[in-house]
Chain A
Amino acid sequence: MLPLVYLAIVVVGEPSDARDAVWSREALELMLRSVGLAAAVTETAVAVAVAIAWLTVRTDLRGRRTWAVLCALPLVIPSYIGAYLMVSALGPSGLVQDALGVGSLPSIYGFAGAWLVLSAFTFPYVLLPVQSVLRGLDPQLEDAARGLGRSPRQVFVSVVLPQLVPAIAAGALLVALYVLSDFGAVSILQFDSFTRVIYTTYRSSFEREGAAALACLLVAVTLLVLWLEGRTRRRTRAYHRIAPGAQRRPAVVPLGRWRLPALALVGGVVLLALVLPVGVLGYWATKSVAADIDWGLVASAAGGSLLAAALAAAVAAAAALPVALLAARHPSRASTVLERFSFAGHALPGIVVALALVFLGTRAWPALYQTLAMLVLAYVVLFLPQAIGSIRASLLQIDPHVEEAARSLGRSPLAVLRTITAPLARSGVLAGAALVFLTAVKELPATLLLAPIGFETLATEIWRLTSASFFERGAVPSLVLLAVSAVPLALLTFRAHFDQ
């Protein structure tokens, strides 16, 4: 909410300039480019993620649990690191071109590159929720549909897919919002989307009004995306499992002659989104001689990252639970509006939220300015929706009668929340907290602007080194960053896959 107020204040303060910026031809083209990129990436991410989710949960794909973990890992690669690694590998006179000895490869800059890089690093946002819903589906529904004379393909389309729609929509929303607000990848790949233009406008001329007006336009686009997602949600009511009696495991689908294409798909995705970037990173890291690395600096930066991200994860999870609860259990206009607004935070570019908080910090809350609390607040504003989406999905799996039963057994609403709802939603809360942690660890622009003086994180350290073209030296902090975020994610996905 606050960032929106700030933007409004700035735009209203300078109405004519702002109008010019919004109604110009460039702004329209900018909007089309950004929306086009978001749509293309979202579609790709959904297609890839649903296919991989199904392959890794429901089929006899070899090593499917390992593939499931590997496929979730690209989530830990920040878009700015991913884009740089892609450029240094696939770009002009990059590693691949050198190794192959060919004259030139197709250009990786512009739309194609941004699409490839963003798809590769965002599809896990759809993969994770879809996998978790697929695992929880009642196999009897599919058996029932088979019994009604439907082929497996028809069953997938008519029974399984509709139940996945809420999870797909939640994931797709995250992807679309991620792309709209991504700054790192589009900057490095020289694709002029909203965020890049806002940033350059702001930086080149300190023209706050123009940047703010463009940012308002971006917020409008975001609201449109949210509205579209809300419409799909209204059409797909919540599905509660309604099957008394012992639960059965779903049958495993034999892949047969599709085994190799399936392996090729999953392997190809892992190669592009994980092996290639990490390999390139490893190459740079070994090239940078261990001698000139300041290990003390790396360690303190890692400590800073861990602290800020862990605080953000805890605060966001605690704040998201009531909002998700309200949205899932008491769907009213007010609770929907509240949920929508918290999503708006995610769609605002980090740079806008950060600027708004700087503005608020310097004018309204000087006590908070230049403190860790301010940074954590920015993270929470930015990443609350990830926690809400994940918690909401797990709440929808809980039969509301269970909560009512607890009420009539003499417990107050708060006691029911503590003893029934929270434990049952625990996996969703943990997943939400882990997502916030991962995103906060990678976050760049807000961290650059809001970290207290002397407070180093891995992200600011990497940015400092790579923007000074010390890319070899940035490799080690990058690897540490990946390791720091890979550990909780791997634990989480391992737990989900091996628990059952």
Chain B
Amino acid sequence: MSAIRSIAVHKHFGGCRAVDGVTLDVEEGEVCALLGPSGCGKTTMLRLLAGFERPDSGCLMVGGEIVAGGKTFVSPERRRIGMVFQDYALFPHMTVEANVAYALGRRAEGAAARVREVLELVGLGDLGSRQPHELSGGQQQRVALARALAGTPKVVLLDEPFSGLDAALRARVRQEVRAILLAAGVTALFVTHDQEEALSLADRVAVMRDGRVEQVGTPEEVYGRPASRWVAEFLGEADVLPGTVDDGWVDCELARVRAEGVGSGDAEVLVRPESVSLSLGPAAGGRTQVEGVVVEREFFGHDQLVHVELPSGRRLRSRSLSHPVWHPGDRVRVQLDGPVSVYAAASPA
């Protein structure tokens, strides 16, 4: 059963179609990322799910029950959804403990024990008596998470959960948060505009653009087999080579590769830098080798990105480990040794 189901949901603000027909399923227990550029409607989607906005049309279900659609509208407090806001939205006049206990209601049995339990879960067991403003950003975020988890919600929604943290902290906190979510066994939908974050954290990724979901799939699927050129380029570096499809195969400057499901005619071949390998020396002949000239190199420590110019004058990037060291002007053999994506040439950019 889907923990979250959205069917053709629309929401507009004035003339702006923030959410324009989103259909999406999130399975129980899964961590799903809603990935898209800023302004594509991700926050609006979360707010619709949480019940802070009413959809114009379409249907939203949480835990198998309709929460919005037709005449039904379940108010936010009865949806059992935990929400972690981008700015955390901690209650400034309450201690950490009181913030978390707020989720349990005043008369709840064993509230104190549950508060301790979730604070332990997020690793803040000894900070319960602090005020929110006495915590660092990362700690505030974990309090917000603990508060969202305390009432054992059906679903947790997180809006750009890591955007307020610095880069060094972000990578660590990311994995911590994933571990916490898995330990809690809760279904999580989180919003981000950072593809690395989505790919490394989620079981499944839904890519959003202009209020619509363009593709849903595992991180490997959306990265390796993007449904459109836009998705491919949004998810990572990619270069485009023109090609011609004929009978299930595509010919381009680098190679002839399989092109399933693309009709004959002009096509675009999307090549990720890690699918391009370089080797030394002039081409030894053979169809799949092309000679190029190194024009630029970006060094990142653990790897490098080398820009090469092909005989046609097109440029291609190649990502490899930091050795061997290439220099502008080096003549290299360029070889395709990874998957590529092929789209009919009219595919929108």
Instruction: Report yes or no: B85 in contact with A405, Cβ–Cβ below 8 A.
Output: yes
Residue from the list B81, B85, B103, B148 in contact with A401, Cβ < 8 A? B85
B87 within 8 A of A: yes
Interface flags, A400-426, vs B, CB<8A=1, else 0: 011011111111100000011001100
When chains A and B are docked, how far (Å) is the Cα of A246 from the Cα of B141? 12
Residue of chain B at shortest CB distance from A405: B89
Contacts A406-B102, A408-B82 known; A242 to B151 CB distance under 8 Å? no
Residues of chain B within 8 A of A405, CB atoms compared: 83, 85, 89, 91, 144, 147
Interface residue total, chain B, C-beta cutoff 8 A = 36
Q: Which of the 9-residue segments B12-20, B28-36, B128-136, B341-349 touches chain A?
A: B128-136
Contacts A244-B164, A245-B137, A245-B164 known; A401 to B89 CB distance under 8 Å? yes
Q: Which of A379-410 contact B (CB under 8 A)?
A: 399, 401-402, 404-410
Instruction: Report yes or no: B77 in contact with A411, Cβ–Cβ below 8 A.
Output: yes
When chains A and B are docked, how far (Å) is the Cα of A402 from the Cα of B140? 13
Instruction: Report yes or no: B83 in contact with A245, Cβ–Cβ below 8 A.
Output: no
Residues of chain A within 8 A of B85, CB atoms compared: 401, 404-405
Max count, chain B CB within 10 A of own CB: residue among A401, A407, A410: A410
Instruction: Report yes or no: B137 in contact with A404, Cβ–Cβ below 8 A.
Output: no
Residues of chain A within 8 A of B76, CB atoms compared: 404, 407-408
Residue of chain A at shortest CB distance from B165: A244
When chains A and B are docked, how far (Å) is the Cα of A408 from the Cα of B147? 11
B92 within 8 A of A: yes
Residues of chain B within 8 A of A242, CB atoms compared: 87
When chains A and B are docked, how far (Å) is the Cα of A404 from the Cα of B133? 19
Residue from the list A401, A407, A408, A410 in contact with B105, Cβ < 8 A? A410
Q: Which of B133-161 contact A (CB under 8 A)?
A: 133-137, 140-141, 144, 147-148, 151
When chains A and B are docked, how far (Å) is the Cα of A25 from the Cα of B99? 65
Residues of chain A within 8 A of B115, CB atoms compared: none
Residue of chain B at shortest CB distance from A423: B93
Instruction: Report yes or no: B133 in contact with A246, Cβ–Cβ below 8 A.
Output: yes
Residue of chain B at shortest CB distance from A399: B89
Residues of chain A within 8 A of B144, CB atoms compared: 405
Instruction: Report yes or no: B77 in contact with A408, Cβ–Cβ below 8 A.
Output: yes
Instruction: Report yes or no: A408 in contact with B140, Cβ–Cβ below 8 A.
Output: no
Instruction: Report yes or no: B90 in contact with A408, Cβ–Cβ below 8 A.
Output: no
Instruction: Report yes or no: B50 in contact with A419, Cβ–Cβ below 8 A.
Output: no
Residue from the list A246, A399, A411 in contact with B87, Cβ < 8 A? A399
When chains A and B are docked, how far (Å) is the Cα of A402 from the Cα of B88? 8
A247 within 8 A of B: yes
When chains A and B are docked, how far (Å) is the Cα of A424 from the Cα of B76? 21
Q: In angstroms, how far is the closest chain B Cβ from the Cβ of A331?
A: 14
Residues of chain A within 8 A of B78, CB atoms compared: 410
B170 within 8 A of A: no
Instruction: Report yes or no: A410 in contact with B80, Cβ–Cβ below 8 A.
Output: yes
Residue from the list A246, A406, A407, A408 in contact with B91, Cβ < 8 A? A406
Q: In angstroms, how far is the closest chain B Cβ from the Cβ of A410?
A: 5
Instruction: Report yes or no: B77 in contact with A245, Cβ–Cβ below 8 A.
Output: no
Residue from the list A245, A404, A410, A424 in contact with B140, Cβ < 8 A? A245
B11 within 8 A of A: no
Instruction: Report yes or no: A409 in contact with B93, Cβ–Cβ below 8 A.
Output: no
Residues of chain B within 8 A of A419, CB atoms compared: 102
Q: Which of B45-82 contact A (CB under 8 A)?
A: 50-52, 75-82
Contacts A245-B136, A245-B137, A245-B140 known; A404 to B147 CB distance under 8 Å? no
Q: Which of B80-137 contact A (CB under 8 A)?
A: 80-83, 85-93, 102-103, 105, 133-137
Q: In angstroms, how far is the closest chain B Cβ from the Cβ of A140?
A: 13
Number of A-B contacts (CB under 8 A): 77
Residues of chain B within 8 A of A244, CB atoms compared: 87-88, 137, 140-141, 164
Q: In angstroms, how far is the closest chain B Cβ from the Cβ of A4?
A: 34
Contacts A242-B87, A245-B164, A423-B93 known; A407 to B77 CB distance under 8 Å? yes
When chains A and B are docked, how far (Å) is the Cα of A402 from the Cα of B164? 17
User: What is the interface residue range for chain A against chain B?
Assistant: 20 to 34
Residue of chain B at shortest CB distance from A243: B87
When chains A and B are docked, how far (Å) is the Cα of A337 from the Cα of B48? 29
Q: In angstroms, how far is the closest chain B Cβ from the Cβ of A138?
A: 12
Instruction: Report yes or no: A404 in contact with B89, Cβ–Cβ below 8 A.
Output: yes
Q: In angstroms, how far is the closest chain B Cβ from the Cβ of A428?
A: 13
When chains A and B are docked, how far (Å) is the Cα of A146 from the Cα of B1? 54
Q: In angstroms, how far is the closest chain B Cβ from the Cβ of A409?
A: 4
Residue from the list B51, B82, B134, B148 in contact with A246, Cβ < 8 A? B134
Instruction: Report yes or no: B77 in contact with A410, Cβ–Cβ below 8 A.
Output: yes
Q: In angstroms, how far is the closest chain A Cβ from the Cβ of B70?
A: 22
When chains A and B are docked, how far (Å) is the Cα of A246 from the Cα of B164? 12
Max count, chain A CB within 10 A of own CB: residue among B77, B102, B147: B77
Residue of chain B at shortest CB distance from A242: B87
Q: In angstroms, how far is the closest chain B Cβ from the Cβ of A405?
A: 4
Q: In angstroms, how far is the closest chain A Cβ from the Cβ of B135?
A: 7
Instruction: Report yes or no: A412 in contact with B77, Cβ–Cβ below 8 A.
Output: yes
When chains A and B are docked, how far (Å) is the Cα of A399 from the Cα of B132? 14
Q: In angstroms, how far is the closest chain B Cβ from the Cβ of A46?
A: 30
Q: In angstroms, how far is the closest chain A Cβ from the Cβ of B150?
A: 8
Instruction: Report yes or no: B151 in contact with A410, Cβ–Cβ below 8 A.
Output: yes
Residues of chain B within 8 A of A420, CB atoms compared: 91
Residue of chain A at shortest CB distance from B47: A404
When chains A and B are docked, how far (Å) is the Cα of A411 from the Cα of B83? 13
Q: In angstroms, how far is the closest chain B Cβ from the Cβ of A225?
A: 30
Interface flags, A32-58, vs B, CB<8A=1, else 0: 000000000000000000000000000
Residues of chain B within 8 A of A408, CB atoms compared: 50-52, 76-77, 79, 81-83
Contacts A244-B140, A244-B164, A408-B76 known; A401 to B92 CB distance under 8 Å? no
Residue of chain A at shortest CB distance from B50: A408
When chains A and B are docked, how far (Å) is the Cα of A220 from the Cα of B93? 43
Residues of chain A within 8 A of B87, CB atoms compared: 242, 244, 399, 401
Instruction: Report yes or no: A409 in contact with B103, Cβ–Cβ below 8 A.
Output: yes
When chains A and B are docked, how far (Å) is the Cα of A383 from the Cα of B133? 36
Q: Which of A56-95 contact B (CB under 8 A)?
A: none
Q: Which of A415-468 contact B (CB under 8 A)?
A: 419-420, 423-424
Max count, chain A CB within 10 A of own CB: residue among B75, B76, B78: B76
Residues of chain A within 8 A of B86, CB atoms compared: 401
Q: In angstroms, how far is the closest chain B Cβ from the Cβ of A419?
A: 7
Residues of chain A within 8 A of B81, CB atoms compared: 408
When chains A and B are docked, how far (Å) is the Cα of A419 from the Cα of B134? 21
When chains A and B are docked, how far (Å) is the Cα of A419 from the Cα of B77? 14
When chains A and B are docked, how far (Å) is the Cα of A245 from the Cα of B50? 25
Q: In angstroms, how far is the closest chain B Cβ from the Cβ of A217?
A: 39
Residues of chain A within 8 A of B151, CB atoms compared: 409-410
Q: In angstroms, how far is the closest chain B Cβ from the Cβ of A212?
A: 44
When chains A and B are docked, how far (Å) is the Cα of A412 from the Cα of B74? 12
Q: In angstroms, how far is the closest chain A Cβ from the Cβ of B152?
A: 11
Residues of chain B within 8 A of A399, CB atoms compared: 87, 89
**A399-B89, A406-B91, A410-B105 given; 17 more Cβ-contact pairs under 8 Å:** A244-B87, A244-B164, A246-B134, A247-B133, A401-B86, A402-B90, A404-B50, A404-B89, A405-B144, A407-B51, A407-B77, A409-B77, A409-B82, A410-B77, A410-B103, A419-B102, A424-B92
7 tightest Cβ-Cβ pairs between the two chains A and B = A401-B89, A407-B76, A245-B137, A405-B89, A244-B164, A409-B103, A401-B85
Could you list 5 A-B pairs, sorted by A, with CB under 8 Å?
A244-B137, A244-B140, A246-B134, A410-B105, A424-B92
A residues adjacent to B (C-beta < 8 A): 242, 244-247, 399, 401-402, 404-412, 419-420, 423-424
